[in-house]
Amino acid sequence: MALAAGLMPDAVIGDFDSVTAETLAAIPTDRQIRVPEQDTTDFEKCLTRIRAPFVLGVGFLGARLDHTLAVLGTLVRHPERRCLLIGSEDVVFPAPPRLHLDLPAGSRFSLFPLRPVTGRSEGLRWPIDGLALAPDGIVGTSNEVSGPVRLETDGPGMLVILPRGALDAALAGLDW
């Protein structure tokens, strides 16, 4: 996509099993970082090799559910990597230990645990205090903002899912 838009990527990281020879030929070899193992996804290969204080990921939410789930699992496995994903409808990021967001009342605020997690919240229509959230139990989807949101979790494993229109507020509120 970058090449088609007239952009040259600084780096291409992955196992290259889904890139054409023509595309690789157009990218200087010193910008190609081949990671041939098949135990991780290309997203994980990239996220664990990028040295940046923060990563915005575009194009990882949507088309294939299996790929999306793998990406979300990667976010939970690597909470030390600060990453926010932008999709056509949503923004998704791993909940930091403490989160403060100013969102309009009535905004959708979803929490989805990929590991067992507990926490406390303020500013949500349905607080999570005292709940044991888990992927095979209670989840916090389709909650609603009632005031300034304060969220604390007892550990990694929780994803925050907001409407795409909340991107600026999410970026302003993330104090990783």
pLDDT (tens digit per residue) in 24-33:
999 999 999 9
Number of domains forming the structure of the chain? 1
CA angle 31, 34, 40 (to 5 degrees): 130
Structure pTM? 0.89
Q: Is residue 24 part of a domain?
A: no
Q: Is residue 87 part of a domain?
A: yes
Residue 138 CB neighbours (<10 A) = 12
Find tokens 């193992």 and name the residue: 37
- State which residues form the domain around 124: 57-173
Q: How confident is residue 87, by pLDDT bands cut at 50, 70 and 90?
A: very high
Q: Is residue 65 part of a domain?
A: yes
Q: Is residue 156 part of a domain?
A: yes
CATH number at residue 104: 3.40.50.10240
3-state secondary structure of 25: helix
CB 113 within 8 A of CB 158: yes
Q: Is residue 148 part of a domain?
A: yes
Residue 20 CB neighbours (<10 A) = 9
Q: Amino acid identity, residue 141? A: T
